[in-house]
Structure 1
Amino acid sequence: MRIAVADDSLLTREGVVHLLTGRGHEVVGQAGTADALLSIVEAAHPEAVVVDIRMPPTHTDEGLVAARRIRAAHPEIGVLVLSQYVEPAYAMRLIEESPEGVGYLLKDRIFDGAVLDDALRRIADGETVVDPTIVSRLLRRRRTADPLDDLSERSTEVLGLVAEGLSNLAIGARLHITERTVESHITKAFQHLGLTDDPGSHRRVLAVLAYLRRPPSGPSPDDGSGAGAAWRKPR
C-alpha cells in the first residue's frame, strides 16, 4: 500500500515508517503537523494514512480533525489513528462519523509490525479496527437500553472480537470453536440488529458500531490513565 505517516515525534515517525517499509509498503510522505499531512494527501493521494491523534500546535485532537477532513474529502483513503492514551470518546467520534475504513490503535500495539500491517489491510478492505483496550473500556461502562441485551453471551463475545479487528478464523482460534460456528454467531448478531444483506452497506462494520455505541448511564470517571480528558465536550 501507499501510505502517508504523520507524528510530531521524529523518533516515532521513523519507527512507524521502518515497520511499514519492512512489510513491503511504500511511504509516500512524512509529516510533523496535521496541515503538512493534508498537503501530502492532496499531492500524493496515498491509499491510507497513519496519524497521531495529538499534533501541534495544541497537542489535543489535531490529528483526529485531520483524519475527519481526509475521510470527508477522500472517502477512499483508509485512516489509522494512533494514540498514546486510552481515549474512548475520541475513538467513537472517528468511527461514528465514518465507520468504514478507519481504525484506532494505541501506540504500544503497533510495536508489533504484524499488528500494524493487519490493521491497515483490514482498513483497506473497508473494515473498522478498534484497539482491544478501547473495546474493554467501553464495555466496562454501565449501560441502559442495550440493543444487544438479548443476544447470547457467546454471540456478544464474538462480536467484541470482530470489533477488535479479528478475522473469523482468528476468532475461532481464540475461542476454540470452528470458523463456521463463528459465522453463525455473527449472522445471529446481524439478524438481532436488523442488518439485512444490503450490498450498499457493510454489515460487519455496522454491527461493530452498534456494539461500541451502546449507551452509558453516566460519564466515565477518570481512572488516572489519561482517559478522563477524552470525556470533555469535543471542540
Structure 2
Amino acid sequence: MRVLICEDNVLLREGIGRLLEDAGHEIVASLPDAAGLADAVTEQAPDVAVLDVRLPPTFTDEGIRAAIALRGQHPDLRVLVLSQYVEERYASELIADRRGGLGYLLKDRVTDVEEFLESIETVAGGGTVLDPEVVAQLLHRRSRDSRLERLTPREGQVLALMAEGKSNQAIAKALFVTEGSVEKHISQLFQKLDLGPGEDGNRRVLAVLAHLSHARPDSNGAR
C-alpha cells in the first residue's frame, strides 16, 4: 500500500510513517502542510492519504478542506482524516459524497496500534471507518428521516455500529448475538431504508449515510 502523510507535528508524522513502514507499507510522501499536497498526490499516486484536520498556516480546517478537494479531483483516492476534534461542517460534507474509502478518527482516542493499522487497511480497501464520537456529534445536529422511524431498536443499534465501520463479526461480538442474526438485521434495515438489491455494492454506505444525516435521539442506536 502506498501512503501519503500530511501532518504538521513532526513526531506524529514520523511515528505514523514508521508504523506503516514496519507493517510493510510504502510512504510515498510525508508533508508538514497542505502547500504541496495536490501536486504530491498527482505525482506519487498514493493509495491512501492520511491527513490532519488542522494544518498551517491557520491550523483550523485546511486539512479536511484539502481532503474534500482531493476526493473531488482523485475519485479513487482513499482518505483517512486524523483530528483532535470533530469539524462538523466539513466532516458532513466529506462523508456525504456517498463513496467508501474514508476514515475519520480522533487522535486522542486512537489507543491501539493494531486497530489503527487495521483502520488504514479498511479505508484502503474501500471501507469506511468513523470514530464513534464523530458519529455521535454529527447525529445530534441532524433532523429525523422518516425511514429511520421504521427501524426497531436492535436494527438501530446494528446501523449505529455499521456507522462506526464495524464488520458483521464485530457487530455480533458487540451485541452478543450471532453473525447470522446480524445479517438478518442488516437485510431488514436495508429493506426498511428502501435500499434494493440492485444497489448491493453501496447499500452499506448508503445506510450509514442515512444514519449520519438524520438523528434519532430517542433510539438505543443513536450512539
Q: TM-score, normalised by structure 1?
A: 0.85
Alignment RMSD: 2.1
Partner Cα separation in structure 1 for residue 11 and residue 146 of structure 2 = 43
Residue ranges of structure 2 left out of the alignment (5+ in a row): 218-223
Equivalence for 1:49: 49
Asked whether the equivalents of residues 56 and 62 of structure 2 are also in contact (C-alpha less than 8 Å), the reply is yes
* 2:190 matches 1:190: yes
Equivalence for 2:86: 86
Aligned residues: 217
Equivalence for 1:226: none
Asked whether the equivalents of residues 104 and 131 of structure 1 are also in contact (C-alpha less than 8 Å), the reply is yes
Give CA deviations for 1:191-211 in whole Å, capped at 9, x if unaligned: 111111225851111100000
* 2:27 matches 1:27: yes
Deviation of residue 98 (structure 1)?
A: 4.5
Amino acid at match of 1:134: V
Residue ranges of structure 1 left out of the alignment (5+ in a row): 218-235
Residue 198 of structure 1 aligns to a residue in which SS?
A: helix
Question: Which stretch shows the higher mean deviation, 91-100 or 142-151?
Answer: 142-151
Give CA deviations for 1:120-156 in whole Å, capped at 9, x if unaligned: 2222232222111112233445744443112000111
Give CA deviations for 1:88-129 in whole Å, capped at 9, x if unaligned: 333212101253211111012334222222222222232222
Shift in CA distance, 195/144, structure 1 to aligned 2, threshold 3 Å: closer
Asked whether the equivalents of residues 20 and 113 of structure 1 are also in contact (C-alpha less than 8 Å), the reply is no
* 2:191 matches 1:210: no
Give CA deviations for 1:58-87 in whole Å, capped at 9, x if unaligned: 111111121112111211110011111133
Asked whether the equivalents of residues 146 and 215 of structure 1 are also in contact (C-alpha less than 8 Å), the reply is no
Amino acid at match of 1:165: G
Shift in CA distance, 152/98, structure 1 to aligned 2, threshold 3 Å: closer
Asked whether the equivalents of residues 5 and 49 of structure 2 are also in contact (C-alpha less than 8 Å), the reply is yes
Residue 149 of structure 2 aligns to a residue in which SS?
A: coil
Equivalence for 1:62: 62
Runs of 4+ in 1 over 3 A off after TM superposition: 138-146
Equivalence for 2:75: 75
Amino acid at match of 1:158: V
* 2:112 matches 1:112: yes
Equivalence for 2:221: none
Asked whether the equivalents of residues 139 and 213 of structure 2 are also in contact (C-alpha less than 8 Å), the reply is no
Partner Cα separation in structure 2 for residue 182 and residue 192 of structure 1 = 15
Q: Identity over aligned residues, as a percent?
A: 45
Partner Cα separation in structure 1 for residue 109 and residue 19 of structure 2 = 12
Equivalence for 1:156: 156
Amino acid at match of 1:129: V
Partner Cα separation in structure 2 for residue 21 and residue 146 of structure 1 = 46
